[in-house]
Amino acid sequence: MDGMKRVLIATDGSDYTKEAVSRGLHLAKVLGAEVTALYVVDQTSFVSFPMDSSIVSVYSLLENEGKRAVEDVVKEGEAMGLKVTPLIIEGSPTRKIVETSADFDLVVLGTLGRSALSKLFMGSVAERVTRYAPCPVLVVRSKRR
């Protein structure tokens, strides 16, 4: 693990990512690494909809959720003596996490540990990030299901 000085912690703000955030922060502290908390505002759901007021309202809600999610990571990091840089970007979560990971030594993210059947129909961000990220990826399974 020598040489891991930049850690990217991807969060969606849900309870399912809290374990990954906690483990990522603890690991960063041990490594003496810089931390960036990433939230991706998922625009893939809105691609085929016209941008009317209801879509803008939903988008605003997602953006505010992202601000809360990264701020939670910042606060938890500060409590541990770590400086965490918040980052909110727009796009496909998988694509943006993989693209952003090019500037990091490690990506930490959570997973629900879904079954193969549910992944077949819905896909898995964690699985795809693990497959395509140019750096190591730590996937932390949530204790809550």
Residue 45 lies in a domain: yes
Containing structural domain, residue 86: 6-141
Kindly give the residue spans of alpha helices, DSSP state H, lying in 34-124: 53-79, 93-101, 116-122
Residue 108 lies in a domain: yes
pTM for the whole structure = 0.86
Q: φ and ψ at 77, to 5 degrees? A: -65, -45
Helix (H, G, I), strand (E, B) or coil at 1: coil
Residue 77 lies in a domain: yes
**What is the pLDDT tens value at each position of the chain, 145 positions in all?**
568 999 999 999 988 899 999 999 999 999 999 999 999 998 776 555 565 555 567 668 888 999 999 999 999 999 999 999 999 999 999 999 999 999 999 999 998 755 444 444 445 889 899 999 999 999 998 875 5
Residue 1 lies in a domain: no
Residue 82 lies in a domain: yes
Q: Give the CATH number of the domain where residue 124 resides.
A: 3.40.50.12370
Give the CA distances from residue 28 to residues 1, 19, 103, in Å, rounded to whole numbers and listed in that order. Answer: 11, 14, 16
- Number of compact structural domains in the chain: 1
The residues, ordered by sequence, that sit 6+ positions from 48 with a Cβ below 8 Å of its Cβ are none
Q: CA-to-CA distance for 70 and 76, rounded, in angstroms?
A: 10
